[in-house]
Amino acid sequence: MRTEEIKRFRESFKTAMKELEKEFGVSVSLGNINYTDKQFTTKMVVVSLGENVNVENKDEKEKAVWNYACLKHGLKPEDYGKTTTIRGRKFKAVGFKPNARKKSLVVEELGTGKRYVTETTAVFPNHFDD
């Protein structure tokens, strides 16, 4: 398998999972994919989003995953959406990659909307601007 095929698989997997996410009220994500010429392996994480969460609404889904993952990373549910400054640039905390080992916090740069994944220690609660 080649890198391009793995990327296509990941995108196709996301598309295929949308109906199951909707049906069961969950978020499904894949971890890093390790591959050889003939096979690949990955970890799949399924997070229950709880009742009354519209999985088709990206913001609701991200907040539900945040509520699931934040405590085990030293943050609180109310930290969702708070801003922080990293290397002189303003970012908003918008999500988690629950299956990531190190870089699990998703932040969005204010002004550009570009998203990055960083370590939670980069924005530990006492570093929020709000």
pLDDT tens-digit map of 52-66: 788 788 888 888 888
pLDDT tens-digit map of 68-105: 888 888 888 999 999 988 888 899 999 888 777 788 88
> Nearest Cα to 68, choosing from 45, 48, 43?
48
Residue 101 to residues 55, 72, 104, 129, Cα–Cα distance (Å): 24, 12, 7, 26
pLDDT at residue 71, rounded to an integer: 84
Domain total in the chain? 1
Give pTM, 2 decimals. 0.67
Element (H, E) at 45: strand 44-48
pLDDT at residue 98, rounded to an integer: 75
Domain hosting 88: range is: 3-127
User: Where are the alpha helices (H) located in the chain, listed in sequence order?
Assistant: 3-24, 58-69
Task: Identify whether the C-beta of residue 37 lies closer than 8 Å to the C-beta of residue 6.
Answer: no
